[in-house]
Structure 1
Amino acid sequence: MAAMALGPAEAAAAAHALSLPAEAFGNDPQLELVWAMKAHQHAQVYFNLISSVDPKFLNLTKVDDQIYSEFRKAFRDLKIDVLDPEDLKSEPAKEKWRPFCLHFEGLVEDFNYGTLLRLDCSKDYTEENTIFATRIQFFAIEIARNREGCNSLLYSSAKAPAAEVASG
């Protein structure tokens, strides 16, 4: 996705708009564009972070331990390296995710905001490899991926070319 810059007035208007309740908007295309830009920027920042810092040592929130513990208690067998969209979007999955997500209301800021999540953690964000999820789903899955070593491949492969340049 090409980055689009907002001027100061547009950024202020967008920030104000994002603080209003969803009912105030209907399907406002400008707001959807601002959300898409914000979600894309978050995705880029996160991908750059796990490519440059060993993900095993990352903390994404102040309550990572609690998120991880509750996630693995509720979703013990969920395969996180390559997600099946049905594990997030089907009606039975939504019924299981809903209480998990609501558990973090008030603990994780903007826990129910929309964000982008990679389906296959060995790959970058692309249209085919990205799904819409809530922020708490993103945190739960990415914290698990970091702690369980799934994101280490990205860090190792990003580090390898730098090591070759340094030794070459």
Structure 2
Amino acid sequence: MAAAGLAGLGPGEVAAAAQALALPAESFGNDPRVELAWAMKAHQHAQVYFNLISSVEPKFLKLTQLDERIYEQFRGTFQNLRVDVLDPEELKSEAAKEKWRPFCLSFEGLVEDFNFGTLLRLDSRGEYSEENSILATRIQFLAIEIARNREGCNEDVHRRGRGATGERNHGGES
């Protein structure tokens, strides 16, 4: 995986790759160092988020200052989209892209890095894995994960995470 490849990079190489991520995409074509840096960043984000929903009751999570707006606009645009188990066609088909594009662009300038690539779990009950992950934009990730948190889809992950650590949420049982 990407993390294993990063172990071979020195601090200067990691810093250079991270700095490259700030440049416009046209600047590099298919530079493998950039792909590796992106993969590292996406993998780290996925790990942090999964640990978060494993340890904190998802219904109480606030992912951005705009969670309410993102959720309302998402559900207004995608009323019937199942968020518990995603169909990749609902994100990647040409028809889906035509529907997602205006939604995503409406958050340009409002949500930092709204169009950066990130990993999204297909089945909300599962962990990040090659089979259970898809590449999505950050605003798609946020919209779907905010909906999953509010609609109870991430509760299984939280219950399993609590069971593994033996921790109890003192705010009440879920």
TM over 0.5: yes
Matched residues, percent identical? 71
2:53 equivalent among 45, 50, 63: 50
Over residues 69-109 of structure 1, what are the superposed CA-to-partner deviations in whole Å (9 max), with x where a residue is unaligned? 00000000000000000000000000000000000000000
Cross-structure match for 1:140: 143
SS in 2 for 1:36: helix
Q: Distance in 1 between matches of 2:126 and 2:68?
A: 25
Following TM superposition, by how much is the alpha carbon of 1:16 offset from its aligned partner in structure 2, in angstroms? 1.9
Is 1:77 aligned with 2:80?
yes
Is 1:113 aligned with 2:116?
yes
Following TM superposition, by how much is the alpha carbon of 1:161 offset from its aligned partner in structure 2, in angstroms? 3.9
Cross-structure match for 1:14: 17
1:103 equivalent among 103, 106, 126: 106
Following TM superposition, by how much is the alpha carbon of 1:2 offset from its aligned partner in structure 2, in angstroms? 5.9
Q: Distance in 2 between matches of 1:138 and 1:144?
A: 10
SS in 1 for 2:16: helix
Q: Which moved more, 1:148-157 or 1:8-17?
A: 8-17
Cross-structure match for 1:68: 71
2:96 equivalent among 90, 93, 98: 93
Following TM superposition, by how much is the alpha carbon of 1:32 offset from its aligned partner in structure 2, in angstroms? 0.4
Q: Distance in 1 between matches of 2:145 and 2:10?
A: 32
SS in 2 for 1:11: helix
SS in 2 for 1:65: helix
SS in 1 for 2:21: helix
Normalised by the length of structure 1, the TM-score is 0.93
Which segments of structure 1 move beyond 2 Å, counting only runs of 4 or more? 1-8, 160-164
Q: Distance in 2 between matches of 1:160 and 1:109?
A: 34
1:126 equivalent among 111, 126, 129: 129
Q: Distance in 1 between matches of 2:151 and 2:92?
A: 23
Following TM superposition, by how much is the alpha carbon of 1:156 offset from its aligned partner in structure 2, in angstroms? 1.0
Gaps of 5+ in 1: none
Q: Distance in 1 between matches of 2:61 and 2:45?
A: 16
Normalised by the length of structure 2, the TM-score is 0.90
Gaps of 5+ in 2: 168-174
Over residues 45-81 of structure 1, what are the superposed CA-to-partner deviations in whole Å (9 max), with x where a residue is unaligned? 1001100110100011110010000000000000000
Question: Aligned-pair RMSD on alpha carbons?
Answer: 1.4
SS in 2 for 1:83: coil
Amino acid at match of 2:150: R
